[in-house]
Structure 1
């Protein structure tokens, strides 16, 4: 008699997955390699195997051909696992497919596209009686609708971590701020969609505004990170921390316009 559980050895179910997106504005692998080296500071384990979708909606110019082998090899050198592409010009799809990259269209893997259900035909309208003229009612004042202000909206969640973060550990505050009360060691990583507050030594990698919030900031009472980032704008410290902020209370923020943001690191007064 066949085992009834054999049919359950594999199941396929729909799911929404959080996958990182890399906006590729250049397809030349050499130029990309230089840019990633400057961004990551040469750290080969920066992304630690994160899956990524390559988005080509912001290409400066559309090439006739892409060296997919060179690009995917470059990404895997930083432990990024490319799984698909979107907003890719039609003539480049075949090359991406041969490189084992799925074509995800415009929506990406986390989109949910509902299936439209056929609607029953509307019933024929019943015959209406002839309208009878009536005197127009006196005009009434329109009701006032109170629009809730931004201040009355839902406050983003804040993740508070009381224990120190050791080398190799990572914490991600999804959708809000991250407060780290005990500091962190070199080799650890903290990520937040909002701002980051570290009340102790900041020694690892800190990435604020992970989903593109350019108003996010990073605060630390003892500044000494390996890397800081806000909304994708990175800075590494291979040559050491600037003396004006090393070991001091400091903040990191973005300055400039949307097209040309720059990281600014300034010391803060404790008293």
Structure 2
């Protein structure tokens, strides 16, 4: 007999939107500038709203208006993190789950120390320790195929190396650099965890959108001819007090 419902353990990867203020009008202006008004940019990603960085939160927050604003860009707000207790009831009524602490709702429990008996010290012995095994470090994720439209690849905590291409409508994300040795199309987000030294490097530049550490650039007006279809890289460069995203051709000769 088939059960009407089953519960299975699983893993959900969620975007975290870290807010530094809670004014929906100012947030709307910031998103418009950051994403150039591209609706559905995030393609329905589950999102945790983190308000722990905001000092002096008001007594009332327009949670419904905030949800509507984020959904306009394809984000699906599902949980609230870092809010004081007096905001919890209103957030729950708006449909938010409440996550507690930095662990995202998982409570950390300290176990009492184990009782141990003191044994007499053993006689000294000389032993030869085996050589330690070399540790493997995940410095890069390597994808040996073309990433098709509708697919998303995320290299968490490392670089992403694509030995094929990235098609229109695909999305590649990495906390480090992104290297693509085929045609680079779609959406390309490097330095996703905030690394401002990350770069996007490709042998054939032609994406719809690029981002490094949250600084975005779109190409509705076309890609500069010196870059389009050529070996190029994108990086952040400091100009005054701000960072600008620049494109430069690669000299491979």
Determine the C-alpha separation between the residues in 2 that align with 1:73 and 1:83.
12
1:97 counterpart = 2:97 = no
Q: Could you tell me whether the CA contact under 8 Å between 1:228 and 1:236 is conserved in 2?
A: yes
Determine the C-alpha separation between the residues in 1 that align with 2:202 and 2:55.
37
Tell which structure's C-alpha radius of gyration is larger.
1
Determine the C-alpha separation between the residues in 2 that align with 1:189 and 1:178.
12
Q: Could you tell me whether the CA contact under 8 Å between 1:86 and 1:108 is conserved in 2?
A: no
Equivalent residue, structure 2, for 1:162: 144
Q: Which runs of 4+ in 1 moved over 6 A?
A: 120-123
Q: Could you tell me whether the CA contact under 8 Å between 2:40 and 2:71 is conserved in 1?
A: no
1:25 counterpart = 2:20 = yes
Q: TM-score, normalised by structure 1?
A: 0.75
Determine the C-alpha separation between the residues in 1 that align with 2:159 and 2:167.
20
Q: TM-score, normalised by structure 2?
A: 0.79
The SS at the match of 2:197 is coil
Determine the C-alpha separation between the residues in 1 that align with 2:103 and 2:192.
18
Q: CA deviation at 1:193?
A: 1.9
Q: CA deviation at 1:185?
A: 2.0
Q: Could you tell me whether the CA contact under 8 Å between 2:203 and 2:231 is conserved in 1?
A: yes
Equivalent residue, structure 2, for 1:116: 110
Determine the C-alpha separation between the residues in 1 that align with 2:13 and 2:185.
27
1:79 counterpart = 2:74 = yes
Q: 205, 212, 217: which is aligned to 1:230? A: 212
Determine the C-alpha separation between the residues in 2 that align with 1:108 and 1:85.
13
Determine the C-alpha separation between the residues in 2 that align with 1:192 and 1:27.
28
Determine the C-alpha separation between the residues in 1 that align with 2:213 and 2:55.
20
Q: What stretches of structure 1 of length at least 5 have no aligned partner?
A: 126-151
Determine the C-alpha separation between the residues in 2 that align with 1:261 and 1:95.
38
Structure-2 change in CA distance of 1:260 and 1:93 (3 Å): farther
Please show how residues 30-179 of structure 1 align to structure 2 within 5 Å: 30-59=25-54, 62-109=57-104, 112-119=106-113, 155-179=137-161
